[in-house]
Amino acid sequence: QVQLVQSGGGLVQAGGSLTLSCAASGRTFSGYFAGWFRQAPAKEREFVAGISWSGSSTVYADSVKGRFTISRDNAKNTVTLQMNSLKPEDTAVYYCARGSSGYFGPDSYRYNVWGQGTQVTVSS
């Protein structure tokens, strides 16, 4: 049983772009806030971006504002993270996740369904 399946990621040079996608099985995302997190070696998992069910509200970590864009297609049950102007410090394993009912925010413990993670490596 797989609820969130991630795709995308890989190796890119600094300044380049990558797109991460997260596909939900069934109605996993329906009505929920969705987010992206990342975890670099020896660091805690950190919030990257989030989006409300309607897509009208988004929130970004300061480190990615102006460079990353989160979006969702509810009809296709997908959430996407477009990453532009990538920096070496963006290197991490990225995870998509679904927030708990009614939650809109950056706290990882309030997310109850997680993707498998995908590696993003940005070379200098």
> Per residue in 7-33, pLDDT tens?
999 999 999 999 999 998 877 788 889
What does the block give as tokens for 114? Answer: 């997680």
Dihedral, CA atoms, 20, 26, 32, 36, nearest 10 degrees? -20
Q: What is the pLDDT confidence band of residue 2, given thresholds at 50, 70 and 90?
A: low
CB 23 within 8 A of CB 4: yes
Taking residues 37-58, report their average pLDDT.
Answer: 94
